[in-house]
Amino acid sequence: MNNLGLGENDLTISAPGLAPDFRTITITATNAPQDVALKPGRVIHGRVVDSTGKPIGGADVSYDCLADRNGVFSGRTLKWETKTGDNGEFSWDSAPGLPILLDIRKSGYMALEWTKIQTDSTNVVTFTLGRPLAVKGSVTDADTGEPIAKFKITPGWPENGGARFEKYRASAGAAGHYEVHFDSPVVVGPTPYDFIFQISAPGYAPAQSRSIKPDEGEIVWDVKLKKTSATIAQVKTADGKPAAGVKVLLAGPRDYLQLNGTQIRNQNSDGDSFETDADGHFELPPQTGDFETGGGISSRFYANPGR
């Protein structure tokens, strides 16, 4: 092997019908030969079915990594994938001798990701794919009953007694109606996370859904948004003058604002940002929970907690 960098390198040695060998080697200026003796591969037999027990043919099955996920490597340099037959079954005769995680997906079903399977069993393991999640409903003004013309639906998940939302995955809704579909978990993990949705519109307080299981199928969630005033904030310099052209970042509990020289950025790339006008003003949309704002221009930095 050529062009390996000095220091630690992660290697996977594999061959058909044999169990792969995962090893980390330290490369120096001179290196002794690496002897590898591969053992017979473990055989995995699986069957993919729907919620009624009917076989699902043509499902994609792929190896993700070792189940213990010990370190970044975790056997990820091994590649294997296949499709189920018409009877929903698949097999692999070159599996590692350790528990592994598989990904299983088929269009029209909720995917299984990081599904753990033991490789020391000779039994056929059954995997069930549920229906994809569909959430739909109406969005109206709580006082007038009129449909909200434009709004956003943002998916998230429960976290530390609250919720975390992925703003980059937000969908647009219009004319008081929405419908969103998901065929994979909101967060990849051995145990599927619940979904939580937030619906927001300019001039209204955002609404948050209950926790929704990935396998609940079709959900109707009608929302009545309540009007609320936006907060007009002002940024001033140390001598009390309005600070124009300041980039203001909004940070929630899991965001991290970082100041690098005269530049401020949010390590959460989908965080909200604003810019002050000539009088130092900016409009802060309605928020739920604790938050902080931070801004910077030239050699100045401003920070302010909020709630």
Could you say which architecture CATH assigns to the domain 7-31+39-129?
Sandwich (2.60)
Residue at 172: amino acid letter: A
Query: Any idea what the Cα angle at residue 111 is, between residues 14 and 95, rounded to 5°?
Result: 20
What are 2-19's pLDDT values in tens digits? Answer: 777 788 888 888 999 999
pLDDT at 182 exceeding the cut of 60: yes
pLDDT for 296: 57
Span 133-225: which CATH code? 2.60.40.1120
pLDDT for 5: 76
Task: Tell me if domain 7-31+39-129 and domain 231-306 are identical in fold.
Answer: yes
What are 70-103's pLDDT values in tens digits? Answer: 655 677 788 999 999 999 999 999 999 888 999 9
Instruction: Locate the domains of the chain by residue range.
Output: 7-31+39-129, 133-225, 231-306
User: CB of 199 within 8 A of CB of 179?
Assistant: no
Mean pLDDT estimate for the chain: 85
User: CB of 88 within 8 A of CB of 55?
Assistant: yes
Fold entry, domain 231-306: Immunoglobulin-like (2.60.40)
pLDDT at 138 exceeding the cut of 70: yes
What are 32-70's pLDDT values in tens digits? Answer: 888 889 999 999 999 999 999 999 999 999 999 888 866
Q: Name 271's Cβ contacts closer than 8 Å, sequence gap at least 6.
A: 167, 249, 250, 251, 252, 255
pLDDT band of residue 268 (cuts 50, 70, 90) is low
pLDDT band of residue 179 (cuts 50, 70, 90) is very high
